[in-house]
Amino acid sequence: MKADEIIIRPILSEKSSLLREAKNKTYVFEVAKNSNKIEVLKAMKELFKVEALSCSIVNVRGKKKANIPYRGSVKRGHGKTASWKKAYVVLPEGKTIAELEA
C-alpha cells in the first residue's frame, strides 16, 4: 500500500489537540483498516518527513443507530456507522508536523 492510502486523514478534535500540545507531541490519524504499526510509521516518514518514536493503534467500533419518530414523521429502520482504525503517533520532543499546526 502507498503512504497516502495508509494514512487517511488527521483527527482534529479537542482531545487530539490537547494531546498535540502536551509534552509528548501525540498526533491522531485515521488509518486504513488493514494497516499495522510498522506501515503507519513508514508512511509518517514518507508523507511528513518526520521520524516517529512510537505508534499505538485502536480499532473503533461502529455505533448502532435507530431511526425514531420525529415531529410526526415516522421513519423506521436500524443501521450502523462504519468501524474504522485510529493511530496515535508520538513524535520526539521538539519535532512537529507543520501541515497540522496551522
Helix (H) or strand (E) holding 18: helix 14-21
Residue with the larger pLDDT of the pair 78 and 42: 42
- pLDDT, one tens digit per residue, over 22-68 is 888 999 999 999 999 999 999 999 999 999 999 999 999 999 887 76
For the 3-93 domain, the top CATH level (class) is: alpha beta
Does the predicted model carry a pTM greater than 0.75? yes
pLDDT of residue 100: 87
Domain boundaries, the chain: 3-93
Residues 6+ apart with CB under 8 A from 50: 44, 91, 95, 97
- Nearest-CA neighbor of 47 among 2, 17, 13? 2
Q: Measured between alpha carbons, how far is 61 from 22 in angstroms, rounded to an integer?
A: 27
Mean pLDDT of 75-98: 89
